[in-house]
Structures are given as C-alpha cells and as structure tokens.
Structure 1
Amino acid sequence: MLKIGGATVNQIPFDWNHNTTNIIDAITEGIRQEVKILCLPELCITGYGCEDLFLSEWLSERAWQELLRIREHCQNITVSVGLPIRMNGITYNGACVISNKIIQGITLKQNLARDGVHYEPRWFNAWQKNETRDIVYGGEPITVGDLMYTIDGVRMGFEICEDAWRKHNRPGYRLYERGVDLILNPSASHYAMGKSLLREDEVVNEGSSKFNCVYVFANLLGNEAGRMIYDGDIIIGQKGKLVAVNKRLSYQPFNVLATEVNFQDPSKTEALISADIKERNEEVTQALSLALFDYVRKSKANGFVLSLSGGADSSICAVMVAEMVKRAVAELGWEKTKTILRLNPQTEHWKAAVGQILTCAYQGTRNSSTDTFEAAHTLALSVGAGFHRWDIDEEVSSYSQKIARAIGRELKWETDDITLQNIQARSRSPIIWMLANVKRAVLLTTSNRSEGDVGYATMDGDTSGSLAPIAGLSKIFILQWLRWAEEALQHEGLNPVNNLQPTAELRPLERQQTDESDLMPYRVLAEIEKHAIQDRKSPVQVFEAMRGDHEPETLKRHLKKFFTLWAANQWKRERLAPAFHLDDINVDPRSWCRFPILSSGFADELAQLNAL
C-alpha cells in the first residue's frame, strides 16, 4: 500500500508569498497525512492567469527561486509542482518532481489548449513526445522533457491538463508502453457546468482503464485572475474505477485529498465516499459565490454595489452575494470570514454581514411599476442588503430638453423610441457609480448572456460596472435558477421576482413592454445561440436544424433578427465588464468567442435563408 494524493491551491497571478505559502502549507499537510506522492496543480507557483507575462524572462526566473524555497519543505515526500520553464527565449509549461528535497526532473507539457477560453500557444511551446534534454537551469543540472520517474518502486509519468483531453495524442499511451503504474495530471481546468463529471469519466476513469494504472487529477481552485473559476477538483482513479473525489469549490486556501492505494491488488484499495454535489443549480451557486468571494477579497474592495431593479438579472446577483456570505461562514467560520471580508467584529448573523457587503439602489422613472419596486425592496430586506430608492426623471428630463433644443424639436416615442429608452438606462449610471466610489466597492453589472447575444443592453447604462458576474449565463438558466433558489435555498424574498414578466421598463407602462416581445421567446433565442455560436452553423444550417420544431416563417424571422443583431452588436460585447465563465459557452470576446466588429452582417447568408 502507498498513500498518494492531490492538492488544490487558491492562487493569485505572481503573488509570490501568497502562492508559495499555499503550496508549502499543502505539502506540510500532505506530510502530516503521511502522503508519499502528492500532485499539485498546473503552474501553481505563478498562477495560470499570468497572460503575456509568461513571455518575460523574469517571471520564470522568479518562479524558479520560489521552487527552490518549496524544495526545502519536501522532506520524506515526493511532490510535483507546476511552473513555467524558459529556455533559449521559449517558455514551456512544466511539472517539476521533487523527491526528498532533490529535483528528479521536469516534465514539459506536450499538448497546448487553444480553443474556447484558452490561448496557451501564445505563451508556450509544446514539447515533442519522446524527447528529453539535459540542461543547466538556475545553476543546477536537470533533465527535462517527456520523462518517467521511479518513486518508491512506482513508475510514474505525467499528463498535464490538455494532454489528457487529446484522444489520439495522449502521453498516456506512450507511458503505458513504458509500463507506467501511476499518472499524475496537474491541471488548470476552468469550471463549466457539468465539467467535473466529464473529467471523472473521460480523463480519470478512461485514463486509468486504458493505461492500466492509478490516475491522480489535481486542479486549481477559485477565481484566480478575474474571469476563470477553478473548482479545485481532485480525483483519484484506479484501473477504470473512482477511488476518491474531493468536495469542490472550497473557500479554503488549499485542500489535500489522499488515499492508500494497493498497486498490486486493486481490490484492496478502499474507495472514499465523496460529499461533492454535481446538481447544476447547486454547482453554479457554489462556483459563482466563490468567484465573488475571491474577487472582492483579491481586489481589496469593500463590497459590492448593485442597481436592483426587481428583475431577474439583478436579483440573482443579490442572492449570490448573500450565498457568498452564508457559504463562507459555513466553511471558514465567523472569525475568518469577518477578517477576510473586513466585517464589523460584532457581526454574528449572515444578514448583518450582507448589509455591510452589499448596497442596492432602486432607480425608478415614471415608466417603472410598483411591482418591480416591491420586488426589489422585498428581496433586499430578505437578504439584509442595504437599500436605497431614488427617481431619475429629473435627470432624464434635463438631458432630453437639452437635445430637443439642440435639434429643434421634441423627442417622441413614435420617432425616438430607442433614444428615449437608452437615456433612462444611461441616466442611472453616473449616480450608481458615485455610490460605488463612495463605498469603494465593486459595481456589479447585470448583463446576461442572452442579452449579450443580441445587444439588448444600453452601453454606459445597464452595462455600467466593473464586474459582470452573470454574463456567462443564459436568461433561461437564470429564470429557472431563481425558481429553484426560492425553494431549495429558502430565499422567499424571490417570490415577487419570480411572479414578474421580464421587462426593461423603459417604455411607458401602457405600452406593456416585455423582453420577449422586443426580442423573441428566450427558449428560441437559447436554441439559436447553441447552433449559431457554440456549434458555429450558418443561418441556413440553423434553420435546417430547428425547422422540425418551429413554424418555418416565424423561425426565419427569429433567425434574421438574431444574426442581424449579433453582427451589429459586437462592439457592445467588446465593452462588457469582465465576466465569469460558468457554462460551455461564453460571448465575452476576451475569453471565448471572437467576432469582427465590422462585417457583412451575414447579408448573403440571410438572403439564402429568405430564398428557402
């Protein structure tokens, strides 16, 4: 029997003392648990999100100095630690093996992630399979490349994150030919709904079965650099069966999961019971609340400010901040939570804590309804948030009168519909920003992914903010999540919100404005998005895929609107506040989907659609 394990750490890009402390603490805990082989995540010394700093010389040099500090804490244990290695002006992604304070070698990543949120080929070169090299690095002779190690009689090799997702080029095939017993997979695998199950099945179970070995997967944890969330997944499998899975999305700075493994007789390896939850609503709640917690503490802000309209989007933001507080207290305890969030030392209830962390304002106009005010007020009271109300009609009137004088005519709904809607949204921006400045808080913007698809938002209005926590979620998901949260999380204050029809409330009330009448049914929009953006189909291809479930001419109108608005509004998506990545798809061009600001607008493609 040999005790092996994985460790997850919550890092910050090139925050050397913070990162190294977390790594050393994890190693110390591993030693306390008598772990013999411990896998830490990919690039854990620097953090995965250093971006173009990976191209500098100094970053890798400093990471090496930190590695030497870490080495001194590796007594009676073998540890793999991730860091960038720069040789002859080229950066590689490495996993360094330290055994009993001696560097055994550095395995270099062979497959670089280049799709979706990943841009690794910009910073790193892929290492060639079967190639090794003896170098002098930091004054020490070291072997790097495609390596195998023998530790306590166990033959060990690596697949580093993306290596394991390449079905036909996995290093595991070559390791199997060399008689591998144990594969370590240090990863920086971003969170997305349901992705943990894919890792368990396609990486760990499949890898340990195909390569007839024990497999350890160890992922980064938390909101490291602003957009990506890492769930801290640690998974151990043996010959096609899960042996241990940790509870993900922890608020702790590090976690260690280890178990005794019998390499000769797998039937004697005892499987640990996992407390991890895979249900998507709960999973997203954990991910988003942890991301907010990390964002506010790492940015050193005093909390959050939110324009709370009583609608679905701002309401989910408010509830997630409340869940952030409740979950932090449940895991860390009151004293640690109060210290991290800089709360009043006398605080003893989560609602009182939310009141110090979250300030909301309902910014009404003559077009706002009593229903939305009551929904906003009820929700704010139910979670303990600070709440203000003011009207902006005076500001709207002042702007409108100035323009009317400039152009020599009055503005009317019949001729200036979009202008009169936008000025209301924009008039809300300066004052809510002012409140955020006074509070020294992060201003949350409430744009969702469905609005991002079609530009259904006012730039410098409802898009104002420094963080867009739900911009990676579709409106369909948000609406069902709110209904779930009212029951499952006992947020009864959501009841008025869940009984409202989504509306921007920017036209006069008698015009009965709703989001779906302005756009199309949200379910149709989500289906088009899946085909057009995620699957990258043309308008005609989307029509063929959907026509069996929709009236053809109506579907054509929806498709024309979607593709026209998508193409016209890329400039808006370029200006959205940083967004968390939470689903398989994201329309943030800085993390998932890039599109030209100027284009034909699918003119020929829509003409082909009309001709059908």
Structure 2
Amino acid sequence: MVNLKITSTKTGDFMDYGFIRVAAAVPGLRVADCAYNAEKIIELIARAYEKESQIVVFPELCISAYTCGDLFHQEMLLEECLTQLERIISETRDKNIVSIVGLPIRADSQIFNCAAVILKGEILGIVPKAYIPGYSEFYEERWFAPGSKALTSSIRLLGRQAAFGTDLLFRDENDGGICFGIEICEDLWVPVPPSSYQAVCGASILFNLSASNEVIGKYEYRRQLVRQQSARCFAGYVYTSAGIYESTTDVVFGGHALISEYGTILSESERFCDEDQLICAEIDVQRLLNDRCKNTSFMELQQKPDYRFIDFKLRDLDLERLERAVDALPFVPSSPEKRDERCSEIFSIQTSGLAKRYRHTAAQYAVIGISGGLDSTLALLVTVKTFDMLGLPRKNIIAVTMPGFGTTNATYNNSIELMDTMGVGIREVDIRPACLQHFKDIGHDAEILDITYENVQARERTQILMDMANKIGGLVIGTGDLSELALGWCTYNGDHMSMYAVNCSIPKTLVKFLVLWAAENVVDERTSNVLRKVLDTPISPELLPPDKSGEIKQKTEDIVGPYELHDFFLYHMMRYGAPPLKILFLAEQAFGNSYRPEVIKKWLKVFYKRFFSQQFKRSCLPDGPKVGTISLSPRGDWRMPSDACAEVWLRQLD
C-alpha cells in the first residue's frame, strides 16, 4: 500500500495523502528544428516544476517532431536529437522533476521511436515503442523498428549506460506503490496494450507519448480509450499528443492531452490551441491501490512478462490545495443531465428489485408508513411505480400515517396530501394512546423525554405496520436510507426493520435529488407540488414535541451533523479506504467555503464514533436493492464485526 507520507497530524505540516502530481505538456514545435523544440521542452519542464508537478510527459518524438518522415534516416537529425537531449538533461538537472520526452534513437543497427526518462541530470531509462503502425496515414514501419526487435537491454547514450527496453518500470525507492510505466501512441490502440501488463506488474500510473492526428470521431474514441484503460488497469493514465504546429502535408494534429484516474477525466487540454499547453492534476495512488487490493480479479492475469524496475527518488509533495476538483456531493453527479440519468436508473433498480420480491412472494398488498419526510416519500413513489408495473391496484398500497408526540401540522398535512394525490389506500393510526399505555406498563414517566420516550414511538409504529401487513397478507416496505444506517440513526427493531428496504443503499444527499427528479419527471402537477413541500421540510424523526409555534424542534442535522458531510465521509472511507486525516483534508478542499476546519473535524469524529458503535444494527438488516458502489448490507459489501474499536481512526484526529 502506498505510504501516505504523513509526518504530523497537524494540518499544514508535510503530507501528500497518497497523491502524485503529474503534468502533460503540449509544446508548439517546429518540424525537424530540434534546438527550437528543446527550448520549448525546457520551458515547459520549468513551468511544470513551478507548479510542483513531480512527473511531466511530452508528446511522441517531441525533440524532432513526429512528422519528419524520411528525415528520420538522416544522420544529421538523429545526432541533433541526441545533442538536444543532452541540452535538456543539462539545463534541467537542478529541477527535481521526472521528465519523459520523445526522440528517435539508433541502436542495434535499427532506429527506435523512444521515450527517454530523465531526472536531475541522469537518464533513468529508455523505452522504445512496442507497436509500429503501417496503415492508412501512418508509415512508421518505414523508419522505426518495434521494441521487440531490440537485441540489447541497455545502450550507451551520451556517455552514459542506460537501461533500454519495453520491460522497464520506474519505481519510487521509498514507496513501491508509486510506480509508472510508459507506452507510446499506437501501443494504446492494440487489443491488449502494454500498459495492461505494466499495471498487473505494479505500475499505478501510466504515461503515453502520442502523436494522434485529428479526423472526425477520433477525439471521442481516443478519449474513451484513455478513460477505459485507466479504469481497467485501476490506474492513473497521463496522455499527451502532438500539437497543431506539427500538422503538415496530409495530417492535422490537435494537441490533445488528458489526465485520467480510474475512468474519470481529471484534466484535459484545449485542442487546436496555438499556444503551449500544460495540464496538471493529482492522481490518488492510495485509492487506486486500495481498489486493486479489493478487486480479486485484478491479479488473475498470470501470463505476464518479467519487468525490470528502475528505482528513483520522487520529489516530495507538500499539499495545501489540489489542482483536481473534490466533489462535495460524491454520490450526486454535478451535471444535470447525468444526474437525471442516474436518478432514472436508480428508480428502475429500486422498482425492479421490489417487483421481483412481489413476484416471488405472490403478495398483493404493501404496507408503508408515511411521515411526510423525504425517505418515506421516496419509498412510496417506488412502491406506486412497482404496483403500476405489476398491474396491481394502487389502493392495495396501504399507506399509514401515525401521528405521535412530535408530529407537526406541516408533516401531517404533507402525508395526507401525498397519499391522496398518489391514489393509495390511506390509514391513520394515532400512536399516542398506545405509547402512553406502554410508558405506564414499563414504568416510564411520560414527562421524561429521553431515548426511551423516543424509541417507544418508533417501535410502536413498526409494530402497527408489521401487524397490519400480517392481517392483509402484505409486505412492509422499509423507508430508511444509507446515511441513517451508517450513523445508526434508526431505532433497533423499530424503523430499522421491514420486509424489504427499498432505500437502504441510497444516501440522504441523493434521496433529495431522487424526490426532486420524481417531482419533475414522474408524477402529475398536484403530486409534484406536494413533493416540493416535502423537500422544503427539515429532516427530523419528529419524536420530541414541537416548539411553542408548532414547528419541528428536533432537527436531525443539529444532533448528528450535516448529512452532506457524513455522506462525504462515508463515501471516501468506504469507497477508497481513505484514512481520517486524508478525509479531513479532502473535506476541507470540498467544503472550505461552508464549514470551518474545526467543525469538519468535529463531525468527522462523530461519524467514526457512530459508524463503529452502531454496526450491530447493520449486522441484521432486511433485504434491499444495491444501487451504487457503496452498500452496507452484511450479506454483500460490508462485513464488519459489531464490536470493533474506532480508537485507531479517532487517534489520528486528536
């Protein structure tokens, strides 16, 4: 696992949290003018160094330019490329940054299209291109030999002995998790790219020096290749290609550069730009290695070639802010189009899962408690859609409102109006008399508004729903969501229990958008108006009496903390195994304008304490559909001992 390089737990001291800052450059080159090109490369290396990049990659054959044609057979060009490589090495020796540059190199009586890896005046290694295209507009076979034709594993270059071959991987001497491999242009386009083997053998970051020209449709396909290869390899993929000034004769280049991490584009250049470009981003190596460790299929590819590892010392990265964006709502797509698509798909997963349960049990009725809040509203929407799909009458959905000691007029009216507009069966059961009787039975003073006072109400409601379902031969549809399960914000054997829990893997931040999406896309105008009222209602269990004005007094987020923070914590802990200090750092990046650092840390401690102490509730959850990458089902994604200690995690935040 990558070393997080944390030397202090105090914010501001040196730490990189497992990030590597990389850069991809697109210089404006002149074809065959190696001295001019070297000057551009040196300038961009300096710019990347100033931006605290640790590794920078340049396009294919950037010292000569890609489109030199038969000039590659000219001694003058080959020698000038070496002269300018020496100049680049010399003029950047004072900069602690790994630079990957492209040039033609003669070896074994052949010419190879190569990437030279240089650092502080030294050549770490030379990687030749593995696959040489000889089709359509590409004539590289006329000039270059594939890497497999190399006869030697090292070459004498500029008075130095340098490792040479397609079997080189470059590894940080202090942290083996930081390892990169190199492929060149066409290598990515073959059925099994070299980077696939490099990743299996330890490369967490993959670099591609390219000269991909522009034709209609190629841009999007190339972009998908980079995204998909980074996803398949659980890796960062850094790609850069020749710019417009290398366009000549029949081909035009656009200068396309991309930085991708596990299928997500972190940064992208502007194509057809007439200025030099440098894009930078941090790649989260820690999260990539965590995913590799969890994915049991990753290491199944055993038929792999042996690699030689070249060790080097990576420049330290002292992070204050990230170049990459950190999404404050990681469960919710930021694009409205993608958000609508996500909501539609989740709604389909929920209804399909519930429909299967009804087909299997041959049940004809559903019983669901309606509180006037977000979760029960979403559960009712899903149940109605399911019954419509199965051809069952909506009146077979018995929606029950159960006013208690904390019920306000606003939520009560929301409940009644929602049930009415949805055309379901409506029942009302006032739980207050039964709760008072129960207080009397167990000897509890009804004036003491403690946990017993609250949980008696939750369990009474669940008892009513369960018994009513038994009476009519129906299923109790659970309403609780993923965020509540993570925090244990549910009453054991109360709202914690149901016969099928349709919201169990949907976090609170996403529930809001699902209800809004339904208001805009699924229901009629009258129901839509009710849904918007629900969205405007504060989140509350309504187990304590309202305030003097009849408004909700018990607001969940005042007690356990903001759900947007807890969902953020949950996502990064569960999805990537991020430790507390890293989550704190990321949260400060995402919420810096909304919460002070000490407030974020306060709620992060609350999150860990509740997450660990409340596992026993998650260990006996009812069935429910998994809709995203994170689920707390004890039968699927999360198998945690109920009595595990949180001390190791909390100690890092002290």
Scaled by the length of structure 1, what TM-score is found? 0.49
Scaled by the length of structure 2, what TM-score is found? 0.46
* Bigger Rg, structure 1 or 2: 2
